[in-house]
């Protein structure tokens, strides 16, 4: 059952992504990627590598959320120094840790306010069973605030950048029944207000 849901989820993401899939809204330095030919204003300190390595993240991948719900855990985690560990007393399938890739942060204006926003890669689980999400952050009240997320499932992200208010992501992923991994590039948009 998990595999059929995962297949449906990834295929839905791919079909929607080709058309500019909307992000999932989140309600309750160096290593930066800036597209060639685009310049952005100074990056707010609350979106620096150090700040994003110790921010609060809301996980949205349905497989991860299912495991967290089963274990009675919240979808929001407080990452510190790049990693969050679930308590040893909680069995959460393969999702013992959540980590953030602060070596590859994409910066650009996603909200249209002229101030840079940031997109980071978030990985939940062990390498063999990990899922990847892109988390979009803006600067709000002197802190990094996650305002959107894009689940990619079990994927290996090759590149992420922000161009003309959209997130371009290139990643490899496996679809059950396929002989090998697929290379996919998507342009992801934020929902219009």
Span 6-64, pLDDT tens digits: 333 333 343 333 333 444 444 333 445 555 555 557 899 999 999 999 999 998 888 77
pTM score, whole prediction: 0.75
pLDDT value of position 161: 94
Q: Where are the alpha helices (DSSP H) in 77-191?
A: none
Let me know if 167 is exposed, middle or buried by CB neighbors in 10 A (0-12, 13-18, 19+): buried
Tell me the Cα Rg of the chain.
16
Q: Which long-range contacts (CB under 8 A, 24 or more apart) does 79-83 make?
A: 79/53, 79/54, 79/55, 80/53, 80/54, 81/53, 81/54, 82/53, 82/54
Let me know if 113 is exposed, middle or buried by CB neighbors in 10 A (0-12, 13-18, 19+): exposed
pLDDT value of position 5: 35
d(CA 70, CA 62): 12
Span 119-147, pLDDT tens digits: 999 998 776 667 899 999 999 888 899 99
């Amino acid at each position: 059952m998990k595999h059929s849901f995962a297949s449906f989820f990834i295929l839905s993401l791919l079909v929607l992504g080709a058309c500019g899939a909307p992000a999932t809204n989140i309600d309750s330095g160096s290593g930066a990627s800036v597209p060639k030919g685009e310049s952005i204003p100074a990056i707010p300190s609350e979106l620096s590598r150090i700040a994003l390595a110790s921010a609060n993240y809301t996980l949205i991948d349905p497989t991860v959320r299912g495991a967290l719900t089963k274990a009675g855990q919240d979808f929001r985690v407080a990452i510190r120094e790049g990693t969050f560990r679930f308590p040893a007393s909680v069995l959460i399938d393969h999702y013992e840790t959540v980590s953030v890739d602060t070596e590859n942060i994409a910066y650009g204006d996603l909200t249209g306010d002229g101030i840079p926003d940031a997109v980071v890669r978030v990985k939940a689980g062990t390498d063999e069973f990990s899922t990847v999400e892109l988390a979009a952050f803006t600067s709000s009240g002197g802190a990094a605030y996650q305002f959107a997320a894009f689940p990619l499932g079990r994927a290996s992200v090759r590149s992420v950048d922000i161009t003309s208010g959209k997130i371009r992501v290139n990643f490899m992923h496996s679809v059950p029944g396929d002989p090998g991994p697929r290379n996919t590039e998507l342009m992801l948009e934020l929902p219009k207000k």
